[in-house]
A = this chain, B = another copy of it.
Amino acid sequence: MVFFNCDYNEGAHPAIMDLMMRTNMEQTGGYGIDPYCEKARSLIQAACGSDDLEVQFLVGGTQANLTVIAATLRPHQGVISADSGHVNVHETGAIEATGHKVIALPSQDGKLTAQQVLDCYTAHWEDGAHEHIAQPGMVYISNPTEIGTIYSKAELQALSEVCRKCGLPLYMDGARMGYGLAAKENDLDLKTITACCDVFYIGGTKQGALFGEALVIPNPAIAKDFRYMIKQRGGMLAKGRLLGIQFVGLFEDGLYFKLSEHAVGLAMKIREACKNKGYSFLVDSCTNQQFPILPNAVLEKLKEKYVFSMWGKVDEENSAVRFCTSWATKADDVEVLCADIAAL
């Protein structure tokens, strides 16, 4: 069986494993205060175009989300998110467990628009009973979104402008950041993201590392005492250097971007194969996740050789599924898959 069900089936890229092996018996300080975290921080600051950015490393995405949101909001505030946002649907109420409401706005494509945020903010403050309602306190987006779509530069800048006007810090979940930046349609880069967002993370777990997310915090008010927050939420890794080592591996020589391109390139082949066959898509994704709608009979056949995610019934005859590629996906496997799609 070949797995296309998600982008975290394998360990880490061999270059990263190699770096971990070579440094294994060195003695360093703990908790992210070590030369490797220092070096990774510098590499990420350079990639983001600013050498005094706060950068912290966390193990996973839900941990990053709940820590950032808890650190940013005052108790009576909630976080605005698309209704399909990871924090709203797939974190077992982790945000609420820190005391905050997720203010979910409807979205078809997984994205929030500047207008939506402005309307939500305005409606809150115009309501005479506003203190009886959770106050919008920040905005959560993901790029790419949970369904593979991406923000354009213009969209992100408009969103950022509204957020700043409303005093709402903007947070971008970048669990698959590289796969977004590698999309052909993409016109964003890390410098623009740094300029637009108050805090964001560059995902490692799904992008070539064993685990790890690099949190970048351009807004000093959020950065203040942030390490306390990491510790309190159980996110401070004793051997923090493991995170530093992996991000050194990813950001030295641009490995992160190369791996992202690899994954997206293969995803485009799957997209092409489905399109050629006349299949439509649940959502038009330009990144490493593809959501074709396939006849159930075809799916049954594909299941004999491949693992993929069932995403939802479309009608009696057809279902939407998700195929993921990743840094680890083999070109040969995709080629055979595409041939199988063409043949079925």
List residues of chain A with CB under 8 Å of any chain B CB.
2-3, 6, 8-12, 14, 17, 20-21, 23-30, 59-63, 65-67, 70-71, 74-78, 89-94, 96-102, 129, 131-135, 205-206, 210-211, 225, 227-229, 231-239, 242, 328
Q: Give min CB distance, A292 to chain B, whole Å.
A: 20
Q: Are B100 and A78 in contact (CB under 8 A)?
A: no
Chain copies in complex: 4
Report yes or no: A24 in contact with B10, Cβ–Cβ below 8 A. Answer: yes
Tell me if A59 and B93 are in contact (CB < 8 A): no
**Nearest-neighbor residue (CB-CB) of A132 within chain B:** B90
Q: Is the CB of B135 within 8 A of A228?
A: yes
Nearest opposing residue in chain B for A229, CB measure: B76
Instruction: Compute how far the CA of A6 lies from the CA of B33 in the bound complex, rounded to whole angstroms.
Output: 14
Taken together as a complex, chains A and B put the C-alpha atoms of A131 and B133 apart, in Å, by: 29
Q: Give, as a whole number of angstroms, the nearest-CB distance from A224 to chain B.
A: 8
Tell me the dominant secondary structure on chain A's binding face: loop
Q: How far is the CB of A54 from chain B (nearest CB, A)?
A: 14
Contact B131 A227 (CB under 8 A): yes
A75 vs B77: C-alpha distance when bound (angstroms): 13
Q: A10-B26, A96-B99 are in contact. List 7 more A-B contacts (CB 8 A).
A: A3-B27, A62-B236, A90-B132, A92-B131, A93-B232, A96-B101, A233-B234
Q: Is the CB of B238 within 8 A of A205?
A: yes
Q: Known contacts A9-B28, A70-B75: does B234 contact A235 (CB below 8 Å)? A: yes
A–B Cβ pairs within 8 angstroms, 7 of them? A17-B20, A59-B59, A60-B236, A71-B74, A78-B96, A96-B99, A131-B227
Asked whether, in the complex, the Cβ of A225 is within 8 Å of the Cβ of B27, the reply is: no
Distance, CA A8 to CA B74, complexed state (A): 30
The CB with the most chain B CB atoms within 10 A, among A97, A235, A242, is that of A97
